[in-house]
Structure 1
């Protein structure tokens, strides 16, 4: 029954699946140029991942870092007009910065027209500096290098100049392997796809075909050896058919098509309608089947027997089972359609491997067939449960279109309300309180069915606080953003905490111990809640050695929304405040600070080879090279030699967890002393 439980939740797992790479790179740049005589259009295009946004080129003072285009040498050309932007940026009030900010979602294109001053071929080089955020975190300012090779003003123009793609040294981690996702990510996606294949077996369209398949190979008139050979080829054919579908997706859907599929309203509304239709079909409203002529034509080829017959037997299975496997396969392809090549192939291979496994094994060993449970009402129950999941998960596509085009149809509380109703009805169905027209009579509730009802109702209980503003972080990947919630009690309380914690010097913590130096940059950088600390790693570590105290490294940023939330909701806890002030030396490293460093403090990155000349770039590089992470907040606890005491911690609004994090580090520090 463990497989049954996995099958009922696999679609949820597929949608909940997130990449596990720690180096976040949500904005990809490409560069192109169009030349017409002396005038050239320089085109800077940003492709932005879902839920992330790129800030505009002009922002108010005191806000995040604006996008800027920086040229190494402008002596050989002059600018013609202002920078053109497409589409127009979205403007909204940002609660963190308390100001109106402009940003781009999904994609942005900047076009600068220039006029060449020389007849000789030239190269225009420089970099784009930008900052991006999502609903949970902000990344430090990042640079993307560009280079344009242009013909001279007097040369014979042949249309577009040579296109030089972005050589983004700061994102060297995106090798061919990285573009496809990390090895861990691909293995995890393969595992989820494999579970999806197991789930598909338990659907009413597929399960009854197992004995039919075994019967075909047992009564084919061939010898036992040949029958088993054909059975093995049958399983191979199933895998090949599904994997070919994944390969076609990889070839046909390049990055641009995938971006259109994932962001444009038309495919998302279409996917939403498809999921709803499949849900209605699973509920018994109507039956979705492949065209009879297609199934019949394939079925006729089966009679030929041999390897060809085995192949068409596999093709018939795929076609007949489409009404149940279609939404599962679609979920895998939608999840993988991000411009990658390996991911859809691996996803479909994993699904097909699990899907083909029982058919092949039972065909090879027909004696196992007697141990299978009989087809019956339980199969229809599986189908109805999948229908509820289809209905819930289909809302994700409507939500994407709603957020992208700001329709305001599916705000967070409406989304949650629908989910609460759906999973409540699912729980009632599992308890036998709801019955569809094609359901069998339920004389008693089995233990597995009761357990799944408990899971469904528990999930509803988890969702209810979200109606009042609870962040529901486990679902953040596919919930509408918190900013769309009209009544956010969580935000109201957090604002009160900020007000109290910033009310003055009532907390009364003192300055850094006299044995240590005065903190550098302390005239313009400060810690919250009256805490004292350092903003330079070397200086803070020296103080920790002098006082023999563990180090609390806070990777933070001026534009880090979650950093402010952690400081307001977690650092403000009296237990956390007491430990930070009395037990640790705090080193707050601002990864987006623009302060220039003296040349003696410049560092050359071992990650991207660039010289880091500002405070923010120095410590952004330090975080990446030392810990393999570029997101904030990120908390690292070390001893006086810079060695880790416990595993680092990221965003977590639970003060109890943070207290435990600090206490475990203190215990480890005592052991080392």
Structure 2
């Protein structure tokens, strides 16, 4: 018998909830949990639930089609369930139409459940887990919900991992060398990147033909040249303003949780989604289909374009943003995703979006002010489609980068450095063949004319592709310094390479520093951090810097996006300095919170020098592409350490 629609909803919702770390428990069932030790390393968890609101709680496990309606889950693999979940009272049978009138176990008042478990590792004093369950009613079916619980364990070991180090005070450092702050260092760089993206979007077939049409509309319909210029400038401002508005929701997220944008940028599934989306964008740019927003959006915006003077101009700008989405969307998506992987969060995103909007709006205003310039514009034609296809190849290269981010965070090793570079070489080779006319796509002209601009583009991409080839080898030329940070790190390789490897645990590094009487250099980093890789490949490799790091410091790298789950005994609910509660489940959770609590930052890379008494010797240091400047900061830390002896 086929699955009913409701049963499919049940299966899908249960599956996705099992992947989610952000689910909230429902008010329809109030739970309490306790534990009882039954043997060495063996416990029984006892759940008491009270169903409310006239709902019913499904209690079947592994029905005829293999579905669970309720199950206990743990993140730590050292905790195993011993037998199935046991129902100790409060259940009844019900012929449920959701399951084709099959008789299923439910509870509609109070219920008692037990789950036996075996813990092979250290037993924590407080065990964390979740109870995933499903509720419903006669006329409705609710998706699976999750009850997150902490339960005391008899004989368990109390969590001793340190996160907040009270002796670290950045306002009272032994030396004032270092950065005053990490915010705003690259905002204008992101703005310029967005500006370039806006200019590129102008050369797409969705936008370029609109320039003379729009400028002509304002200059001829405004009554006077002065009013036409005013309206065109207002039109350009509204284009800029609309793209700024798109970044506002990210500021709200950033205020809710300063680490949320970093978590988004390193989220494995989000990076995989970006990979898929960018591949779809690329195929669209190749001309096999067109991505558009629903027609009613454009129609509604266009219908308002004649309402009043200022309001009408605003809706004209909104109409442009909507109808050009099939071309600007992928470029804007590249910018948005790129900004989220950087360190400035929502503010960098706003600067990038503002730059993009300005790049898109500026020509409309300038051509309205100087309409004679329109005569110098090239005519629309096949070259616009060529620009679009070239962008499609670049979208494919970006897609590989996002897949690489997910691979690095999860350490799957499906895209080592050489395979990543090899894919880029293939993309570059195919792009050159396309520009030479060997490869054609649906909307290309049958005959390709290769003029000076096209020859220049062919040469540029040929040189770039040839430059990548040494990256496939195990030679000194494999570093590809011009691209450092974009491919996976040199250590993530098919070859065995000798590189400087810091420690990975703060307390272990501090103990070694005290034994060797050296200051501790903390490197807050991430697997998906571009600027971290640039520092490691361009600054750390400097002979003077490397000598200091290897011989004068004990270095520890703390990966804030490490998804390895902590042992149960090290998991905890941490109270932040602002009074909030944060679940520390993974290694990355621990080090990200360690950074934000002690060093007031969530951006990477961030470097800190700490003395043997765990006081800050200097102010912290952010991304520093100058090896000389970074060396000077290290020497300042050594000098401060010497004075404190």
Aligned partner of 1:188 in structure 2 is 189
Aligned partner of 1:103 in structure 2 is none
The TM-score normalised by the length of structure 1 is 0.51
CA RMSD of aligned residues (A): 5.3
Cα 1:474–1:443 shift into 2, 3 Å: closer
Contact between 1:180 and 1:343, CA under 8 Å: does it hold in 2?
A: no
Asked if 1:395 is matched to 2:400, the reply is yes
Cα 1:186–1:113 shift into 2, 3 Å: farther
Q: Residue 284 of structure 1: CA displacement?
A: 0.8
Secondary structure of 2:206 counterpart? coil
2:165 is aligned, of 134, 138, 145, to 145
Q: Residue 433 of structure 1: CA displacement?
A: 2.7
Aligned partner of 2:162 in structure 1 is 128
Secondary structure of 2:316 counterpart? helix
The TM-score normalised by the length of structure 2 is 0.54
- Measured against aligned partners, the alpha-carbon deviations of 1:353-380 in whole angstroms (never above 9, x if no partner) come to 1110001111233222111111112111
Cα 1:384–1:434 shift into 2, 3 Å: same
Aligned partner of 1:264 in structure 2 is 267
Contact between 2:407 and 2:415, CA under 8 Å: does it hold in 1?
A: yes
- Measured against aligned partners, the alpha-carbon deviations of 1:374-394 in whole angstroms (never above 9, x if no partner) come to 111211111111000001101
Asked if 1:450 is matched to 2:469, the reply is no
Cα 1:590–1:82 shift into 2, 3 Å: farther
Contact between 1:430 and 1:449, CA under 8 Å: does it hold in 2?
A: yes
Higher RCO (C-alpha 8 Å, min separation 6): 2
1:356 is aligned, of 358, 361, 368, to 361
Aligned partner of 1:409 in structure 2 is 414
- Measured against aligned partners, the alpha-carbon deviations of 1:9-52 in whole angstroms (never above 9, x if no partner) come to xxxxxxxxxxxxxxxxxxxxxxxxxxx9xxxxxxxxxxxxxxxx
Secondary structure of 1:348 counterpart? helix
Secondary structure of 2:162 counterpart? strand
2:465 is aligned, of 454, 460, 463, to 460
Q: Residue 290 of structure 1: CA displacement?
A: 1.9
Aligned partner of 2:223 in structure 1 is 222
Cα 1:615–1:313 shift into 2, 3 Å: closer
Q: Residue 308 of structure 1: CA displacement?
A: 2.1
Contact between 1:217 and 1:363, CA under 8 Å: does it hold in 2?
A: yes
1:428 is aligned, of 402, 419, 433, to 433
The CA distance in 1 between the partners of 2:371 and 2:309, in whole Å, is 19
Asked if 1:296 is matched to 2:316, the reply is no
Secondary structure of 2:552 counterpart? strand
The CA distance in 2 between the partners of 1:632 and 1:86, in whole Å, is 42
The CA distance in 2 between the partners of 1:480 and 1:389, in whole Å, is 18
- Measured against aligned partners, the alpha-carbon deviations of 1:515-537 in whole angstroms (never above 9, x if no partner) come to xxxxxx9xx86xxxxxxxxx999
Secondary structure of 2:247 counterpart? helix
Aligned partner of 2:373 in structure 1 is 368
- 1:279-290 to 2 correspondence within 5 Å? 279-290=282-293
Aligned partner of 1:598 in structure 2 is none
Cα 1:630–1:619 shift into 2, 3 Å: farther
Asked if 1:478 is matched to 2:486, the reply is yes
Contact between 1:412 and 1:479, CA under 8 Å: does it hold in 2?
A: yes
Contact between 1:272 and 1:398, CA under 8 Å: does it hold in 2?
A: yes
The CA distance in 2 between the partners of 1:440 and 1:172, in whole Å, is 68
Cα 1:82–1:630 shift into 2, 3 Å: farther
Aligned partner of 2:559 in structure 1 is none
Contact between 1:180 and 1:341, CA under 8 Å: does it hold in 2?
A: no
Q: Residue 588 of structure 1: CA displacement?
A: 4.3
Cα 1:265–1:592 shift into 2, 3 Å: closer
Aligned partner of 2:443 in structure 1 is 438
Aligned partner of 1:160 in structure 2 is none
Aligned partner of 1:50 in structure 2 is none
The CA distance in 1 between the partners of 2:533 and 2:224, in whole Å, is 70
Q: Residue 242 of structure 1: CA displacement?
A: 0.7
Contact between 1:239 and 1:349, CA under 8 Å: does it hold in 2?
A: yes
Aligned partner of 2:553 in structure 1 is 590
Contact between 1:635 and 1:650, CA under 8 Å: does it hold in 2?
A: no
Cα 1:239–1:316 shift into 2, 3 Å: same
- 1:614-625 to 2 correspondence within 5 Å? 617=612, 624=618
Q: Residue 207 of structure 1: CA displacement?
A: 0.8
Cα 1:619–1:361 shift into 2, 3 Å: same
- Measured against aligned partners, the alpha-carbon deviations of 1:587-612 in whole angstroms (never above 9, x if no partner) come to 9422459xxxxxxxxxxxxx99xxxx
Secondary structure of 1:410 counterpart? coil
The CA distance in 2 between the partners of 1:382 and 1:306, in whole Å, is 35
Q: Residue 456 of structure 1: CA displacement?
A: 1.8
5+ residue gaps in structure 1?
1-35, 37-55, 57-79, 88-110, 116-125, 130-143, 147-166, 499-520, 526-534, 538-553, 594-606, 609-613, 637-645, 652-673
Aligned partner of 1:380 in structure 2 is 385
Q: Residue 202 of structure 1: CA displacement?
A: 1.2
Cα 1:423–1:84 shift into 2, 3 Å: farther
1:328 is aligned, of 290, 315, 331, to 331
How many residue pairs get aligned? The number is 418
Contact between 1:555 and 1:589, CA under 8 Å: does it hold in 2?
A: no
- Measured against aligned partners, the alpha-carbon deviations of 1:146-180 in whole angstroms (never above 9, x if no partner) come to 6xxxxxxxxxxxxxxxxxxxx9634999xxxx999
- Measured against aligned partners, the alpha-carbon deviations of 1:568-598 in whole angstroms (never above 9, x if no partner) come to 9987xxxx9xxx9xxxx999422459xxxxx
Cα 1:555–1:480 shift into 2, 3 Å: closer
Contact between 1:556 and 1:590, CA under 8 Å: does it hold in 2?
A: no
The CA distance in 2 between the partners of 1:203 and 1:621, in whole Å, is 52
